[in-house]
Amino acid sequence: MAQQRAGQKRKVVEIPLAEQVEDDVLGNGDFDEELAEDEGSDGDEEFDEDEEEDGDEEDSDEEPLSEDGEDVRQQLRDLKTSSSVEIVDPDKDPDTDLATNGTYTPEKRPADLSNYDISVDANGNPRYIYKDIEPNYDTDDSDAPITKNTIGNIPLSYYDAYPHIGYDVNGRCIQRPAKGAALDSLLDSIDIPAGWTGLTDPATGKPLNLSREELEVLKKLSRNETPGDGYDPYPDMVEYFTGKGMEEVMPLSAAPEPKRRFVPSMHEHKRVMKIVKAIKEGRIKPYKEPTAEDLEKEEQEQEYAQYDVWANEVPRPDHAMNMPAPKLPPPGYEESYHPPPEYLPDKHQQEEWEKQDEEDRTRDFLPKDHSALRKVPGYAKFVKEKFERCLDLYLAPRVRRSKLNIDPESLLPKLPDPAELRPFPDHRSVEYVGHKGRVRTIAIDPTGDYLASGGDDGTVRIWELSTGHLKQKVRLSTTDPVNIVAWRPVISPPILAACCADNVHFIVPTDSTSPTAQAEAHTLLTAGFSAAPTIPTKSATGVDKPSPSSWHTPIPAHASQSISLTLSLRSTPKTLTWHRRGTYFATVCPSSGSPSTAIAIHALPTHTSQHPFKRLKGLPQTALFHPSQPKFFLATRQRVRIYDLQAGKLVRELLPGARWISSLSLHPGGNNLLIGSYDRKLLWHDLELAPTPYKTLRYHTRAIRDVAFHPTLQLFADASDDGSVQIFHGKVVEDGFENATIVPLKVLKGHRVRGELGVLGVVWHPREARCVSAGADGVVRMWA
């Protein structure tokens, strides 16, 4: 391949193209060329000698090896550092030929025309072959560098695979210097050139030669000797300006000495005289070295108190901000070196103590028993403990804390003995079972013999209170629940009002009353039909106002169930409360469209109804008549308002602080109001006191559904969704000098909670200490 390439090159050289190139590439191209040529010729001259010498051998060597040229190259590669002799490659020959050719080509054509030849390359394109620059005197270019390294800053090893290293300006390979075992004979035959080191100059890949002098210097340097023969590292100092015999003889200035050098200073004299005077007067004491005695005295003065600080002591008045450090508590039994054996920790306690973090320990030491004083070791943490005390004294914040050293029992309020407060219901006595679904409402008739109950099954049942015997069952509806049952608060004749859907039904109990009483009741209820019909009121627009209610005889299905009268309202009443005389009653329908129509007061004898409140703030929840005065209590969700019915105005407004009032109950005395709320509060209002509650009781975990004062005894109860009824003693002193006392008495548990609902209603027996509660579990219970 090498030969082939050489042949190609030869071919290129051999076919000279005489054609002109159209234009010059560079004006000064010829200078470069000349210089290059000149240097190249220098190099050639060097090689020439070798060439002539080994021309024959080279040829003879090359022929057998031509087949495995690769081997040669490999050897050359291996010997790249060891081979030092510059041997001209056989490939070099054409180059030298070319160079010689180049030298005579300018003779053929003028040099100024072109500095390159144009030939055709393998593809038929023109190829410019630049001539070597001859650096003769015609060229100005003397600075052109010798082409030493044309490969740039890359390692030489990149060319390991090639026989050449880089290319010259004409793209010809710059041949690697010859090396290899094949050349060994040649090496033997020739002398090692002077200065041969066997090293390769990494920049050129050419051998690095050193002269003998240079080698000598290197050798000396490596032996830490002085590099040159005549070099003295410690030459004697040459004293050019100082030293013996060189002293300066003449002063710098020739001026005469001033007079002040010879005359005593007046100012100094003055200063000295001042000091002398001060010493004479005793103002300045000459320094005296303190004797040991003096020092000792001084020290003692420092260390020992010399006087009584508290000679005239004035006590300081105590100040709240002055807090003396608390004293450490005296040691207990367990700190003894020989404590009673019960104070010693057992294994378990010891382990526990050791496991604990140092800060968590209740005690900072472990009690230990030593049978004799001599066996007591030193306490390892003594210094630490004292140090921590020091830290406490100056770092720990101090605060005054009053410590109550009293029996905790003395904190408990004095409550009357529950035995003194008897009777109060404390156990179940009778169950009234029969309702399907929740029992929503219950009522005990004024005689205290019968109990009415109404529930989700749409029936009103009248029970005998003492036995639980069902006396009468009135089905008001099959779909709607009975929301309210309320006995007319007059003993005779007995009338029961029951609210179901939008209707209020008036039931005359049949089973429990005499026929005369029934007749009496019937006439009382129906008397209103004969009364003059009310003139329908006109609204401002002249249109008839819809009447708030309609009174009519009951439908036959109801009439057969001893219902004598039905009152239809425009929405579902949730509260029905009778006036104490039984002539009036009020209904509250919270679901009514406007607040003003939610409340209606009805007159039974005349069968009239009216909405007394024109404008009402808030949604009304429940209402009450005052037992003795013409007052009306109306609870909206968050307020309770007291109206004077005669004067027709608002008397008072209470702020219970509850979110949603569920029920009201007025003390029979009329001055104390109980409010139950869905947000679990039971509020006692003393109406003579502030509009805020006198007591707020929170003992239920769920909403309070109902509250009730006992009509005669000092008891009250509340029913809650947590399934409990709580009984309290509430003593009210009417003279107004004493606040009411409230004593919790009993928590009655028995009702089950069904669907988050527990006890829905509670009523008291009119005279006895019994109460009846209606549960969401469908059971009515009496507690006695």
Which positions from 401 through 430 interact with other proteins, judged by CB under 8 A? Answer: 404, 408, 411-413, 415, 418, 426-428
According to CB under 8 A, which one of 745, 757, 769, 776 is a site residue for other proteins? 745
The three-point CA angle 586-588-593 to 5° equals: 135
Q: Are 115 and 130 in contact (CB under 8 A)?
A: yes
Site residues for other proteins, 693-722, by CB under 8 A, read 699
Any contact of residue 327 with other proteins (CB under 8 A)? yes
Any contact of residue 372 with other proteins (CB under 8 A)? yes
Q: Which is nearer to other proteins, 184 or 335 (CB)?
A: 335
* Beta carbons within 10 angstroms of residue 458's beta carbon: 19
Rounded-to-integer distance, Cα 464 and Cα 433, Å: 12
Q: Which is nearer to other proteins, 27 or 315 (CB)?
A: 315
Q: Which is nearer to other proteins, 167 or 379 (CB)?
A: 379
CB of 410 to other proteins, least distance (A): 10
Q: Which is nearer to other proteins, 261 or 374 (CB)?
A: 374
Rounded-to-integer distance, Cα 775 and Cα 442, Å: 10
Interface segment toward other proteins; rule CB under 8 A; list 79-87, 336-344, 567-575, 635-643: 336-344
Interface segment toward other proteins; rule CB under 8 A; list 10-18, 153-161, 360-368, 648-656: 360-368
Any contact of residue 746 with other proteins (CB under 8 A)? yes
Q: Are 449 and 471 in contact (CB under 8 A)?
A: no
Any contact of residue 292 with other proteins (CB under 8 A)? no
CB of 726 to other proteins, least distance (A): 10
Residues 6+ positions from 214 with CB-CB distance below 8 Å: none
* Beta carbons within 10 angstroms of residue 7's beta carbon: 12
Convert 537-558 to b/e letters by CB count within 10 Å (16 or more is b): eeeeeeeeeeebbebeebeeeb
Any contact of residue 737 with other proteins (CB under 8 A)? no
Q: Which is nearer to other proteins, 241 or 394 (CB)?
A: 394
Q: Is 680 left (phi over 0), alpha (psi -120 to 50) or beta?
A: left
Any contact of residue 286 with other proteins (CB under 8 A)? no
Tell me 462's DSSP state: E
CB of 779 to other proteins, least distance (A): 11
Rounded-to-integer distance, Cα 168 and Cα 40, Å: 11
Q: Which is nearer to other proteins, 240 or 287 (CB)?
A: 287
Residues in contact with other proteins, total (CB under 8 A)? Answer: 85
Any contact of residue 337 with other proteins (CB under 8 A)? yes
Any contact of residue 324 with other proteins (CB under 8 A)? yes
Look-up of token digits 């080191």: 197
The backbone torsions φ and ψ at residue 13, rounded to the nearest 5 degrees and listed phi first, read: -70, -35
According to CB under 8 A, which one of 194, 314, 532, 535 is a site residue for other proteins? 314
Q: Residue 377 forms beta bridges with which residues? A: none
Interface segment toward other proteins; rule CB under 8 A; list 3-11, 361-369, 540-548, 658-666: 361-369
The H or E element spanning position 499 is strand 496-500
Q: Which is nearer to other proteins, 300 or 467 (CB)?
A: 300
Residues 6+ positions from 512 with CB-CB distance below 8 Å: 449, 450, 462, 464, 471, 472, 494
Interface segment toward other proteins; rule CB under 8 A; list 107-115, 159-167, 316-324, 500-508: 316-324
CB of 640 to other proteins, least distance (A): 24
Any contact of residue 748 with other proteins (CB under 8 A)? yes
Site residues for other proteins, 134-153, by CB under 8 A, read none
Residue 332, both tokens: 């207990």
* Beta carbons within 10 angstroms of residue 763's beta carbon: 27
Q: Which is nearer to other proteins, 238 or 372 (CB)?
A: 372
Peptide bond into 423 cis (omega under 30): yes
Q: Which is nearer to other proteins, 10 or 695 (CB)?
A: 695
Site residues for other proteins, 218-237, by CB under 8 A, read none
Any contact of residue 769 with other proteins (CB under 8 A)? no
Q: Are 684 and 730 in contact (CB under 8 A)?
A: yes
Question: Strands, E, within 581-702: which ranges?
Answer: 584-588, 599-603, 608-610, 620-625, 631-636, 640-644, 649-654, 661-666, 672-677, 682-686, 695-697
Any contact of residue 657 with other proteins (CB under 8 A)? no
Rounded-to-integer distance, Cα 767 and Cα 782, Å: 14
Starting at the edge strand that comes first in sequence, how are the strands of the sheet with 715-720 ordered? Answer: 704-709, 715-720, 724-731, 741-749
Interface segment toward other proteins; rule CB under 8 A; list 99-107, 243-251, 585-593, 742-750: 742-750
Nearest CA to 366 among 337, 328, 329, 392? 337
According to CB under 8 A, which one of 158, 167, 231, 333 is a site residue for other proteins? 333
Q: Which is nearer to other proteins, 234 or 394 (CB)?
A: 394
According to CB under 8 A, which one of 305, 532, 535, 543 is a site residue for other proteins? 305
Any contact of residue 27 with other proteins (CB under 8 A)? no
What string marks each residue from 428 to 457 as x (binds other proteins by CB under 8 A) or -? x-----------------------------
The H or E element spanning position 440 is strand 439-444
- Residue 341 burial (10 A CB sphere; 0-12, 13-18, 19+): exposed
Q: Which is nearer to other proteins, 77 or 754 (CB)?
A: 754
Any contact of residue 328 with other proteins (CB under 8 A)? yes
CB of 709 to other proteins, least distance (A): 19
Interface segment toward other proteins; rule CB under 8 A; list 202-210, 505-513, 517-525, 740-748: 740-748
